Amino acid sequence: MKLNGKIAIVTGSASGFGRATAARFAEEGASVVVADLDAAGGAETVDMVTRIGAAAELVVGDVSTVAGATETVRLAVDRFGGLDILVNNAGIAQGTERQTWDCDEDLWDRVIQVNLKSVYACTKAAVPHLEARGGGAIVSVASIAASVCVGGAAYAASKGGILSFTRHVARELAPQGIRANCVSPGFMRTPMSTGERAGLSPEEQDARIDGFARRVPMRRAGTILDIADAIVYLASDDSAYVTGQEIVVDGGYLVR
């Protein structure tokens, strides 16, 4: 098992990439703290993790604030005795306000806070505990929106900020044995990307994903497991000499 005995926090793990990552971590032997504002979805993820055979704890809170992130990390350390891995996955989409000038100030601030400030807040809270364990791994979920014009300017700015933040802290934290890396998903089938959360019908969701797939050289949208497996790699000793890097998981979209 690649993560046997490790203790991990996965933010935004009530669904999508976060839930799949929590499940894969459990399969690899880690204890998992499921952190999300969605109590019901988070409880489902905890149940999934425990059915796999790993220990899990649900923390319901807002990790986009320093206070919320600090409390989440504190509860994780109190429950399991330490912290080895932080996955910064919490995020929201910009929605239909894709034109920069249609995005009002409140939406801009909310996207930046949830997507980018949460990475800062959780990293700030986690680093002392990772240091106490002699090192660890931080994996943040960015996006191809950091490199190409998809998703809207606020979303792209937040994801571009994650890349820059990761590269900066990777250099700072390397002497302490803490690695920091990113995974950048392309067009993936998630509740956010399909339009499920926006109320689209199953047929409309399939049509939307098919439209994405036609733009990808591999002619398919990615899956949540494509991202979860990349996160497992960056969280494990398989990537022991990798830090400050971005793994793009997009079926070749950026190089098409």
Q: Name the residues annotated as catalytic.
A: 155
Asked if 28 contacts 237 with a C-beta cutoff of 8 angstroms, the reply is no
Q: Are 13 and 80 in contact (CB under 8 A)?
A: no
- Taking 3-state DSSP, the helix, strand and coil percentages for the chain, each rounded to the nearest 5, stand at 50, 15, 30
Question: Which of 124, 196, 111, 203 lies closest to 161 in space, CA to CA?
Answer: 111
| Residue 162 Cα distances to 54, 60, 181, angstroms | 30, 23, 10
Cα within 13 Å of Cα(79), Cβ side:
18
Query: What are the backbone dihedrals phi and psi of residue 60, each rounded to the nearest 5 degrees, phi first?
Result: -100, 115
